[in-house]
Amino acid sequence: MFTVKQLVFCYPHSKDTTLRGISFSIEKGEIFGFLGPSGAGKSTTQKILYKLLTGYQGEVLFCGKPLRDWDRSFYERIGVSFELPNNYLKLSARENLKFFAAFYPNTPADFMPVLEKVGLAADADKLVSDFSKGMKMRLNFARALLHNPDMYFFDEPTSGLDPVNANKIKDIIKELKAKGKTIFLTTHNMFDADQLCDRVALLHQGGIKAMDAPAELKLKYGEKNIKVITANSAMKEYIFPLENIGKNPDFLKIISQQEVIAMHSQEATLEEVFIKVTGQTLV
C-alpha cells in the first residue's frame, strides 16, 4: 500500500535533520505500528504520508504511484484520526459527522451506526463542547471511519480512554483489519501495539532502529529462558534455558515433584525491546 524509501526530511530553518533516510513498507491489510518517543520523527513521517509536508527527499509510493502525483482524491482513500481532538465544539456529534461526511462520495446518510460503534449514540445530539476528552477522541475516531477508506492513520487512538472504551476502539481496529483494511498506528502504548500490530517499527532520532513483528522482536531481544515459581514450603524461583526444555532433567524434576504456582517465558516486553534498541524510554 505504502512504500517509503530513504526518506529524508529537514524542516525549513532547522539545522537538524528530522528524518534520516528511513525505509519501510506497509502491506495491504496490515496493521503497521510506528513507535517512538516524542521528537523521534513519528508525526513528521505521518504528515509526509498524508501529504501535509512536502519538500522531502527519497521516494514515497502509495498504491505504486508517487505520493507527489496524487491529487486531492488521495484523501478519499485514507481516513485520519488525529492525536488531539479536532471537532467543532459548537456543533453536536451528529452535526460534526454530517459536516465532514459531505466532502466524500458514498458516505452514509445515517450516522447512528458509526456513533453506536464508538459508544456515542446516546450523545449524538449533544454539543461537543460538553464532551469529555475521551468522548471527543471517540468522535475523532468515528470521523475517520465515515467514508470507508482503504487505509487508516490512527494517532494514539486509545489516548484518554477508559479501559472499556479503549477495548471498543481496539475491537474496531481488529474488525477493520479483518475487512482487509490497512492501518498505520502511532502509539506510545506498548501494550496496544503488541496486541494490535502485525509489524512495528521502532523510531529513534529520525531513524528506524528495529522493525519486525512484535513477537519476533520480543524473542530476539528477550532472554530465551523459562521462569518457574514453586510454593512447597516457601516460594522459590527457578530459571531454565528454553532450549531442549522437555529434556532438561532439573526442570522435569521440579514440575513433577513440586507445587508449581506460575511458569513464565522470559521474553522481553516491547518496552524493554525499545530500551535495549535505543537506550531510551518511550516518553
Partner 1 sequence: MKQFVHLLKWDVVLLNRNRLFILAAAMAAIYIGIFYLIKPLGNLTIIVIVLIYNDPVITGFLFASVLLMFDKNQHMVSAITVLPIPFTFYLLSKTVVLATLAVLSAFVMAFATHGLGFNYFHLFCATFISAFMFSCFGFAIGAVSKTFNQLLLYSIPFFIITALPFLALFDVGEPAYYFLIPSTGGLEILRSAFEPNSFLHNIGSYGQMLIWAAVSWWMAVKATTRLI
Residue 275 beta carbon to partner 1: minimum distance, rounded to whole angstroms: 31
Does position 48 interact with partner 1 (CB under 8 A)? The reply is: no
Identified binder of partner 1 from the candidate list 4, 7, 35, 80, rule CB under 8 A:
80
Query: Considering only residues 19, 26, 78, 185, which one is a binding residue for partner 1 as defined by CB under 8 A?
Result: 78
Q: Which is nearer to partner 1, 42 or 218 (CB)?
A: 42
The answer for residues whose C-beta is within 8 angstroms of residue 248's C-beta and 6 or more apart is: 240, 241
Which residues in the 128-187 window bind partner 1 by CB under 8 A?
143
- Angle, helices 93-101 vs 133-145, to 10°: value is 30
Q: Is 112 in the site for partner 1 (CB under 8 A)?
A: no
Provide the minimum distance between the beta carbon of 212 and partner 1 in the complex, in angstroms, as a whole number. 29
The binder of partner 1 chosen from 68, 90, 253, 264 (CB under 8 A) = 90
Of the candidate residues 33, 85, 157, 214, the single one contacting partner 1 (CB under 8 A): 85
User: For partner 1, which residue of 52, 112, 215, 252 counts as binding (CB under 8 A)?
Assistant: 52
| Cell numbers found for residue 42 | 513519528
Cα-trace Rg, the chain? 23
Phi and psi of 230, rounded to 5°? Answer: -115, 160
| Candidate segments 22-30, 95-103, 198-206, 252-260, binder of partner 1 by CB under 8 A | 95-103
One residue of 8, 20, 25, 75 binding partner 1 per CB under 8 A: 75
Applying CB under 8 A, the residues found at the interface with partner 1 are 50, 52, 72-76, 78, 80, 82, 84-91, 95, 99-100, 102-104, 143
